[in-house]
Amino acid sequence: MRRLLLTLAAIATLFVPGRAQADMMLGLGATSAAAGVHTGACDTITGGCAAAHSMSQKLVASYAGPAFELINPAPAWTGTASISGTTLTVANTATGAMANGLALSGAGSGATPAVKPVTYTSGCSSSTCNVNISQTAASVTAAYSVLNVGFQSNGAWDESTWRSFCAGVMCLVEKVFNQGSGGSADDLIASQTSDGVSGGKLNCSASIIVCAPMFIIDAVTDTPVAFTVSSEMGAWADAWSGNSTSGLPAGATNVSVMFSGFNLYGSGCCGGLYGLMETNPSSIVAGNMYAIGFANGTGSGSSVNCLASNELCTFTDLESNLDPSPIAVYDTNQFHRLVIEGQYIAGTNTDKLFYNNTQIGSQSPPTEPASQRQNWLRIGAGGDRSWLLAAFSDGWVSSNVGDHTAARNVISNFYAGRSASATAGPLDVGWYMPIHGFNAAGGGLAAEPVTIGIGMGGWSARPLSVWYTGPIITVQNSTGSGSIQTFSSVAGVVDPSLAMFCASTCLVNALFTQAWTVGNVFGSTPSATYGNTRQTNNDLSATGTQRPTLTLNSLNGEPTIHFSGAQQLCTTTTPIGGYHGVYPTTMSAVARRTGSFSSLSQVLVTDVNTSLGFAASANSANFQIGGTVNKTASDSHWHGLQVNFNGSSSGTVYVDGVSSATASFTTSNFNPTYYCLGGHSGSGNLTGDIAEVVWTFDQIFSGATNYAPGIYSNDTAYWGSLPN
């Protein structure tokens, strides 16, 4: 299988869940540091940083530890075990085996975790292991494999190990290590507030994999991002009682806090993406925080408003009467990488804010001079312990409030010097994150609708995203009479052993959706927060004679799927997805029709008058979203077919990148009972081939980006010129 370096220069900065080892192994990965001695951002700050966290670069040149720790969400062991002191004793094993180097998890209650985050096994012998943290008593129900990811000599993250560790699953971020002078007491650990503002400290009382943020790859710079959903990351001090942070600036003293990541946000207000926060959420006092925050739009019903409904703005969250008056509106671009620093100068009671190395404001808190500022440190949490969306790359906390231009430049120049991921796919163009909304724990954000681009579906025999490492296809060899096996993404391509397995004809039993579609995307409230679980409702399958065949070495040498007029791949349960009438959606396919030229031949079809394929006339493509549009597309040739519905009554259709505006589409909500490829129940069946189908949905602001041109560009880079 081949690998391509895809250029996404025309696409706005985007970030997507996780992937990159093979790029470095094959020499395709990005490089970031010039020759010579590496200098970290904190090395340029007088007195350095007490806390310095990064997913992608050394912030302190002398730091010799790992950057972050991944956890594989597939348990290596399940059963019953107990910890007493530093001894773990296994009582019963249901699956797997207890071994050295596993992270332990168990269900706690309220604000008390069963296992203190993070407890690891060591010195295992038979049913007994030593553990790294002494606990009076704890019940263990699962153990997970972990991987520490370090740095290369140039100060960039080491991409060489994570792919094989995460193969077949979506990895989570268990820990981000502190590189600063405060040491391990200021490590950020997967944690969650289970009881909102009632006083509970951060813990992981449900499960480590419920609490851990998602491991995301920014496709443009090929660097990791920790993405918090219904989770937070707290310092060790914040993980459970009896511990404290180290070296962080006390209240009524100077402090600077920097956040590097994306301007992701999904509500009318937001605070606490990274910074210092209260130690007792049941007794929130004015000025007890100092953290970077974002706001989105107006009309939130509180003081947290930008100047217009389609704008994003930033502020420093003090949890005070000033909080959070956004210092400045920066722009209306949906998602892009940024560096924001707040500085509080105690002597003059001044709060300064810097955005991408430009000071954008200065003000004095009128009644709360941050003298009550407390020193718990975390990302993804507001002042009331509500769970917030955060896309975190880097952060520091320092007592120095001098000129940090050089430090901010180190951060931004690192990403500017990176290259795009070699494995970016069409979902990286048209879809940002696998998130619907979030249910806050007492934070008043439970009714927030989705505001992040969603992939309603993505199906192909190739990986469609830089981050996707899950299952791709299930096939049965020897023309349906042999073995059945599922193949996943490995090092950016479908597992190469697929070609050997299907040396004789393979039938396709299933195609797995590679888009993390979750929740009721057109309702006023989210149905749930699915967080770190891949949704299976949009997986497609077939049995018996309805199974299409896999064709190896097909379009541009890659595998595609052949339908011979009586096959279909469909969802077996009610699919998750939909678009709201005021928000855009893009359907895209690479396919061809090779027979039945006078019959409707559907590539993607639903039961709500929404489909994409070929018309009931020769040499004609067919697009339906309420209304119907046909466009010329020569039969027996591969085509790129796309339709972008802009959320009103019109849209744009594309055949091989050539656009044609149309007003024939109609606005409607979308609540299908099935998705199918190749037709449905004997109607509209395709005689031809499908290379991929991608369906994206974007709800952030009305009139958001049309992703069709970028998806087509990505497709032609992978599949070759179209038509073909």
Q: What is the pLDDT of residues 95-140, one digit of tens each?
A: 999 999 999 999 887 677 889 889 999 999 989 999 999 988 999 9
Strands 601-606 and 675-677: antiparallel
| Averaged pLDDT, 653-681 | 87
Local confidence band at 246 (pLDDT 50, 70, 90 cut-offs): very high
Query: What is the structure's pLDDT at 335?
Result: 62
Local confidence band at 280 (pLDDT 50, 70, 90 cut-offs): low
Indicate whether 10 pLDDT > 90: no
Q: Is 439 domain-assigned?
A: no
Query: What is the structure's pLDDT at 163?
Result: 83
Residue type, 272: G
Residues 469, 331, single domain; the answer is no
Query: What is the structure's pLDDT at 701?
Result: 44
How do residues 282-325 score in pLDDT, each as one tens digit?
Answer: 667 777 888 888 766 555 445 556 666 656 677 888 776 554 45
Query: What is the structure's pLDDT at 435?
Result: 38
E-only strand ranges, 297-407: 312-317, 328-331, 337-345, 350-355, 358-363, 376-379, 390-398
Number of domains present in the structure of the chain: 2
Q: Is 29 domain-assigned?
A: no
Residues 384, 464, single domain; the answer is no
> For residue 505, what is the domain's CATH number?
2.60.120.200
* Residue after which a domain boundary falls, among 394, 422, 450: 422
Residues 326, 238, single domain; the answer is yes
Query: What is the structure's pLDDT at 692?
Result: 98
Query: What is the structure's pLDDT at 334?
Result: 53
Residues 463, 375, single domain; the answer is no
How do residues 60-102 score in pLDDT, each as one tens digit?
Answer: 999 999 999 999 988 999 999 999 999 999 999 999 999 999 9
How do residues 363-422 score in pLDDT, each as one tens digit?
Answer: 887 566 667 888 888 887 765 666 667 789 999 999 999 999 999 999 999 999 999 888
Residues 486, 337, single domain; the answer is no
Indicate whether 39 pLDDT > 80: yes
Q: Which of these, 706, 687, 688, 685, lies nearest to 697 by C-alpha position?
A: 706
Q: Measure the CA–CA gap between 389 and 295, rounded to whole angstroms.
A: 12
Indicate whether 689 pLDDT > 70: yes
Q: Measure the CA–CA gap between 408 and 358, rounded to whole angstroms.
A: 10
Indicate whether 446 pLDDT > 50: no
425 contacts 712 by C-beta, under 8 angstroms: no
Domain membership of residue 389 as a residue range: 40-71+145-422
**Prior bond to 603 cis, omega within 30?**
no
E-only strand ranges, 198-237: 214-218, 223-228, 232-235
Q: Residues of 90-110 as b/e, b for ≥16 C-beta within 10 angstroms? A: beeeeebebeeebbbbbbbee
Residues 524, 381, single domain; the answer is no
> Which backbone phi and psi does 23 adopt, to 5 degrees?
-60, -45
Q: Is 445 domain-assigned?
A: no
Q: Which of these, 476, 454, 474, lies nearest to 465 by C-alpha position?
A: 454
Question: Which one is predicted more confidently, 9 or 580?
Answer: 580
Q: Which of these, 236, 228, 219, lies nearest to 117 by C-alpha position?
A: 236
Share the mean pLDDT of the chain. Answer: 80
Query: What is the structure's pLDDT at 499?
Result: 94
570 contacts 680 by C-beta, under 8 angstroms: yes
Question: Which one is predicted more confidently, 519 or 69?
Answer: 69
624 contacts 609 by C-beta, under 8 angstroms: yes
Residues 327, 249, single domain; the answer is yes
Query: What is the structure's pLDDT at 33?
Result: 36
CA end-to-end span of the chain:
20
Residues 410, 520, single domain; the answer is no
Residues 532, 637, single domain; the answer is yes
Q: Is 397 domain-assigned?
A: yes
Query: What is the structure's pLDDT at 8?
Result: 26
Query: What is the structure's pLDDT at 15?
Result: 35
Query: What is the structure's pLDDT at 281?
Result: 63
Cβ neighbourhood burial of 276 (10 Å; 0-12, 13-18, 19+): buried
Indicate whether 430 pLDDT > 70: no
Cβ neighbourhood burial of 257 (10 Å; 0-12, 13-18, 19+): buried
- Report residue 565 CA to chain centroid gap: 38
Q: Is 658 domain-assigned?
A: yes
659 contacts 681 by C-beta, under 8 angstroms: no
Q: Is 372 domain-assigned?
A: yes
120-129, 323-332, 337-346: lowest mean pLDDT where?
A: 323-332
Residues 394, 473, single domain; the answer is no
Indicate whether 520 pLDDT > 60: no
Q: Measure the CA–CA gap between 17 and 15, rounded to whole angstroms.
A: 7
Residues 392, 254, single domain; the answer is yes
Query: What is the structure's pLDDT at 518?
Result: 44
Q: What percent of the chain has pLDDT over 70?
A: 74
pTM for the full model?
Answer: 0.84
Q: Is 325 domain-assigned?
A: yes
* Residue after which a domain boundary falls, among 363, 397, 422: 422
Question: Which one is predicted more confidently, 37 or 70?
Answer: 70
Q: Is 402 domain-assigned?
A: yes
Q: Measure the CA–CA gap between 538 and 262, rounded to whole angstroms.
A: 28
Query: What is the structure's pLDDT at 244?
Result: 81
Residues 398, 532, single domain; the answer is no
Indicate whether 229 pLDDT > 90: no
